[in-house]
A and B are shown apart, each in its own frame.
Chain A
Amino acid sequence: QKEVEQNSGPLSVPEGAIASLNCTYSDRGSQSFFWYRQYSGKSPELIMFIYSNGDKEDGRFTAQLNKASQYVSLLIRDSQPSDSATYLCAVNMFRDDKIIFGKGTRLHILP
């Protein structure tokens, strides 16, 4: 099993709908989880982090964490064309305290 797995996409979502991005990880002891947004030709930009089981909301973004299932997700409500980007999931590995990035999911919001 890869350390951090994401579906590469592209995930196409109509404007105004909810986009749901998923990430699974292999290290059961991991404690810190991050979502980055990367526009084409740009650097990754931190948009959310979550440490506790449950939901964390920030504006139109909600991060969801389920440590028992080793699963973290990002929901984007009222999707806008400007949300079209690649979303990277990053996990702090308990075994060596290093951050491992997933390969990212390409999100395309359809106008």
Chain B
Amino acid sequence: NAGVTQTPKFRILKIGQSMTLQCTQDMNHNYMYWYRQDPGMGLKLIYYSVGAGITDKGEVPNGYNVSRSTTEDFPLRLELAAPSQTSVYFCASSSRTGGEQYFGPGTRLTVT
């Protein structure tokens, strides 16, 4: 099992550009999450999904969108990149609500 995979590992965007961060898990987990982590600020939940076709906002959803068409994939879309979106983004999955989460390797995004 590869677990949770994310692409790309690194990306530099110009202000106003768009991009999609990819996340795939092969553990057949229903629950998937997107977090951002800023230095000294901990993990902040952006969006989450409880299954294919179902998504909901987390703590910091503004500027992002998600979709969940399959159990395996949970892409995160940035439509108009802003410098405030410079961060490290982690995708995670879990087999049950409130259960232990398994993280992907992360995407380091810089917006200039």
Instruction: Name the interface size band of chain B.
Output: 10 to 19
Query: Is B41 in contact with chain A by the CB < 8 A criterion?
Result: yes
Residues of A within 8 A of B45 (CB): 98
* CB-based contact B40/A8 at 8 Å: yes
Query: Is B53 in contact with chain A by the CB < 8 A criterion?
Result: no
Q: Please, what's the 1-or-0 string for A6-37, where 1 marks a CB less than 8 Å from any CB in chain B?
A: 00100000000000000000000001101000
Q: A46-B100, A88-B43, A103-B41 are in contact. List 20 more A-B contacts (CB 8 A).
A: A8-B40, A32-B99, A34-B100, A34-B101, A42-B105, A43-B90, A43-B104, A43-B105, A43-B106, A44-B90, A44-B103, A46-B101, A88-B42, A90-B101, A92-B98, A98-B98, A99-B98, A101-B42, A101-B43, A103-B40
B residues with CB within 8 A of A = 40-43, 45, 90, 97-106
